[in-house]
């Protein structure tokens, strides 16, 4: 991420420092200039006072004695000061000595009153208490002002040089100790914001120079990058299906580490349960982590499927037992009917033994009728068991349909999580942009936003891995549903065969009952014996055929019961 720096921190810091120092220096220079102005004004006053002190000691005697040479010497002595503009010594209202500066030659006496140009003073001269004359002195202010201006220019020049040196020094210092380390932070943080956790910051090099806040920040930043790289490596291994990765949080306050550890443990439990269910072990019990844990709630629904399959197992065992009994009964009935047929043949060929054989046939027919009734009862039980098995299989199919619906809801929930992770990523990006706009105040928030963004990406990858595992569970449910449908089809076949068997047994019972009546009529009415024997022989042949068909149906029912038992034996309940 390359965000342009619109306002340099070092420039602003340098400007602030330079402004403060400049204001301070300018204030000091202003005070110094004002002090020099005051000194200049006091200097002119002092020079004028000194001149009057000089003439007060020498003029009285010189004026009294009219010592012109001394008067001229006094005037010349006063003009030693190059600022002196005008000197005039008066005695008895006449000028005894006077001198003017060449620049003052064109001036008039009235201009001496201009306080902006001259400092003028006059005084009377007394000798022994009597006024004998006076003196007038004027000094150029311009001469002193030129010196003052020269001194002020020197002060301002030194002030300007000092300000330039301070500005340059502040810029170099901020660039060396603030801008360069922060630029390294910005570059590394930008790479991390782009997802390049390979970016490193040479914190040790800065720590060798100073142990200030930036140096400590560099070390903390390096530790944070190392932590994020480690968590990214672990998240990558988890997304590749390596649930054996060991995640150890750095502390109890390590929110990211604890979240990854809990997610790994939960995914291990889910994966183990899914593998066991795929192998047919329906005894798995996954506790939901919360009310919003759709995946754990869906696995808890396996308890209902386990009960349903358990009922199917018990029904298959009862069906296996009943089919075996039906097979044995049909075999016994076939044997009895073959015996009856043999007896009828003997009756046909040996009519002289008709009465005795008819009694035997009646007895055998009565026994067959008793067995037929037992078979009919068992067939009814088999049909009832088959009906119960069909109901159980239907419930199991409904349970699997509900489980498949839950899987679809889980996928929808995972899609919502993915959208939330994407929205979190977008919010983290916006937060990074706003933090960048905030400048230095937003640096800490930018780092947090980058961590949220990386966490959102890791969450998206983990959600994708969970989606793949949910799809695998969904495929396993489809396999179980297919097996239940096969089981349902087998139970339908069993129910159909049981119905056919019941109908066959009913026909057999009717035929046997007809035989019994025929045998009884034959015994009671010997005149109809021949016709009855013929009828019995025909009926016996039909019964034998029905008995053989029932035996085949019982054999098929036994095979279907064994297949049903084999299918349900795959599940561990």
> Does residue 27 share a domain with residue 125?
yes
Any domain includes 524: yes
pTM: 0.35
Q: Which CA distances in Å does 558 have to 327, 484, 547?
A: 8, 19, 16
pLDDT band at 30 (very low <50, low <70, confident <90, very high): confident
* Half-sphere exposure at residue 32, Cβ-oriented, CA atoms within 13 angstroms: 15
- Return d(Cα 316, Cα 322) in angstroms, integer: 10
> Does residue 253 share a domain with residue 318?
no
238: containing domain: 195-284
Any domain includes 293: no
φ and ψ at 202, to 5 degrees? -80, 80
> Does residue 136 share a domain with residue 218?
no
Any domain includes 298: no
Domain count, the chain: 3
> Does residue 162 share a domain with residue 65?
yes
Return mean pLDDT, the chain: 70
280-303 pLDDT per residue, tens: 666 666 666 677 777 667 666 666
Any domain includes 292: no
> Does residue 481 share a domain with residue 370?
yes
> Does residue 513 share a domain with residue 379?
yes
Q: Which residue has the higher pLDDT, 350 or 72?
A: 72
Q: Is the pLDDT of residue 159 over 80?
A: yes
Provide the pLDDT for residue 203.
44
- Return d(Cα 36, Cα 49) in angstroms, integer: 19
| Residue entry with tokens 């000089």 | 54
- Helices marked H in 279-353: 294-300, 302-349
- Return d(Cα 82, Cα 63) in angstroms, integer: 25
> Does residue 260 share a domain with residue 209?
yes
Mean pLDDT of 449-461: 64
**Contact between residue 112 and residue 86 where contact means Cβ atoms under 8 Å apart:** yes
- Return d(Cα 236, Cα 242) in angstroms, integer: 9
If one counts every other C-beta atom within 10 angstroms of the C-beta of residue 363, the result is 11
53-89 pLDDT per residue, tens: 777 777 888 888 888 888 888 888 888 777 777 888 8
Provide the pLDDT for residue 190.
72
The CATH number for 27's domain is: 3.30.450
> Does residue 100 share a domain with residue 29?
yes
Any domain includes 413: no
363-405 pLDDT per residue, tens: 666 666 676 677 667 667 766 766 776 677 677 667 657 756 7
> Does residue 339 share a domain with residue 268?
no
For residue 155, count CB atoms less than 10 angstroms from its CB and return exposed for 0-12, middle for 13-18, buried for 19 or more. middle
Beta bridge partners of 137: 87, 121
Any domain includes 547: yes
pLDDT band at 204 (very low <50, low <70, confident <90, very high): very low
Helix 213-239, helix 443-524: angle, nearest 10 = 20
> Does residue 368 share a domain with residue 253?
no
Any domain includes 420: no
Any domain includes 4: no
- Return d(Cα 452, Cα 423) in angstroms, integer: 11
> Does residue 119 share a domain with residue 61?
yes
Question: E strand or H helix at 99, and its extent?
Answer: strand 94-100
> Does residue 165 share a domain with residue 100?
yes
477-506 pLDDT per residue, tens: 666 567 667 766 776 777 677 677 767 767
């Amino acid at each position: 991420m390359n965000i342009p720096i619109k306002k340099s921190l070092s420039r602003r810091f340098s400007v602030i420092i330079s402004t403060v120092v400049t204001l301070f220096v300018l204030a000091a220079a202003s005070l110094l200039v004002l002090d020099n102005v005051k000194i200049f004004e006091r200097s002119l006053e002092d020079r004028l006072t000194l001149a009057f002190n000089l003439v007060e000691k020498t003029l009285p005697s010189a004026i009294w004695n009219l010592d012109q040479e001394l008067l001229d010497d006094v005037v010349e002595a006063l003009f030693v000061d190059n600022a002196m503009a005008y000197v005039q010594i008066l005695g008895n209202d006449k000028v005894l000595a006077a001198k003017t500066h060449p620049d003052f030659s064109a001036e008039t006496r009235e201009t001496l009153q201009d306080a902006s140009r001259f400092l003028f003073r006059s005084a009377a001269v007394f000798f022994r208490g009597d006024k004998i004359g006076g003196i007038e002195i004027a000094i150029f202010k311009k001469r002193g002002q030129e010196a003052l201006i020269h001194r002020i220019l020197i002060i301002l020049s030194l002030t300007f040089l000092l300000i330039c040196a301070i500005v340059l020094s502040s810029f170099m210092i901020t660039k060396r100790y603030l801008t360069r380390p922060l630029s390294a932070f910005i570059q590394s943080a930008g790479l991390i914001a782009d997802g390049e956790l390979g970016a490193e910051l040479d914190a040790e090099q800065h720590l060798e120079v100073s142990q200030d806040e930036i140096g400590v920040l560099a070390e903390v930043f390096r530790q944070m990058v190392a932590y994020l790289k480690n968590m990214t490596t672990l998240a990558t291994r988890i997304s590749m299906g390596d649930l054996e990765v060991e995640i150890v949080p750095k502390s109890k306050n390590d929110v990211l580490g604890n979240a990854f550890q809990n997610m790994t443990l939960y995914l291990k439990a889910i994966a183990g349960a899914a593998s066991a269910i795929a192998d047919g072990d329906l005894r798995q019990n996954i506790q939901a982590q919360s009310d919003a844990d759709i995946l754990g709630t869906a696995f808890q629904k396996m308890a209902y499927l386990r009960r349903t399959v358990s009922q199917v197992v018990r029904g298959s065992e009862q069906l296996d037992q009943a089919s075996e009994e039906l097979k044995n009964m049909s075999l016994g009935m076939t044997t009895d009917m073959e015996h009856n047929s043999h007896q009828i043949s003997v009756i046909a060929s040996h009519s002289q033994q008709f009465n005795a054989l008819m009694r035997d046939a009646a007895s055998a027919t009565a026994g067959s009728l008793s067995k037929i009734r037992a078979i009919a009862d068992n067939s009814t039980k088999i049909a009832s068991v088959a009906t119960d098995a069909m109901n159980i299989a239907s419930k199991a199919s409904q349970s699997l349909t509900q489980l498949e619906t839950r899987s679809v809801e889980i996928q929808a929930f995972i899609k919502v999580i993915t959208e939330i992770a994407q929205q979190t990523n977008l919010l983290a990006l916006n937060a990074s942009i706003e933090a960048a706009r905030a400048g230095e105040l937003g640096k800490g928030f930018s780092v947090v936003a980058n961590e949220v963004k990386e966490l959102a990406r890791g969450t998206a990858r983990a959600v994708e891995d969970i989606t793949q595992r949910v799809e695998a569970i969904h495929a396993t449910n489809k396999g179980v549903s297919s097996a239940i449908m096969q089981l349902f089809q087998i139970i339908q076949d069993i129910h159909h065969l049981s119905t056919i068997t019941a109908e066959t047994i009913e026909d057999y019972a009717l035929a046997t009952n007809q035989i019994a009546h025929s045998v009884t009529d034959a015994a009671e009415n010997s005149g109809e014996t021949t016709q009855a024997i013929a009828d019995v022989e025909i009926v016996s042949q039909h019964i034998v055929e029905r008995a053989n068909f029932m035996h085949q149906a019982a054999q098929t029912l036994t095979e279907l019961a064994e297949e049903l038992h084999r299918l349900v034996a795959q599940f561990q309940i």
